[in-house]
Amino acid sequence: MDYSVFYAELGRLAYAVARADGIVQTEEVDKICEFIGQEIENTGSANHSLRDAVLGAGAEFNRLRKNNASAREAFTDFTGYIDSNASMFDARIKNLCLKVAFRIATANEGVNETESALIDKLKKKLETIS
């Protein structure tokens, strides 16, 4: 697995969820930063290439935010990544994707309808992978 690409794509997913309601809230940015910190801790900060890969999630999130990308575009690109790399989406990776999406969605005043719909689409997409 190319972790640098995977975590950049995870940043794309986080952005799609954060932007789903039309605006990226400060709390959602904080959650992606918190996630990155926890992932670095969980994966072992001594592994510098993995640490850099995890930081790629934040870099991609910020790049999309700076470019004011649409949630639809970011989500479509992420699901395209799933299609192209289905074999790497084991239970752990699927759970990580859902966990990140849910954490971002709940960061600001709970999950709204748009975020919920996006998470449902993600669940369905991940369920199609065996």
Q: Which residue has the higher pLDDT, 29 or 130?
A: 29
Running DSSP on this structure, what letter comes out for residue 52? H
Say what percent of the chain tops pLDDT 70.
95
pLDDT value at residue 45: 56
The span from the CA of 129 to the CA of 42, in Å, is 26
Per-residue confidence (pLDDT) for residue 81, from 0 to 100: 97
Under DSSP, is residue 68 helix (H, G, I), strand (E, B) or coil?
coil
Which sequence spans correspond to the domains of the chain? 3-127
Query: Higher confidence at residue 8 or residue 27?
Result: 8
Nearest C-alpha neighbor of 17 from the set 7, 27, 28: 28
**Residue 23: CB atoms within 10 Å:** 9
Does 68 have pLDDT greater than 60? Answer: yes
pLDDT in tens, 69-114: 999 999 999 999 999 999 999 998 999 899 999 988 888 777 889 9
Predicted TM-score (pTM) of the model is 0.90
pLDDT tens sequence across 16-58? 999 998 888 888 888 887 887 787 677 665 666 777 888 888 8
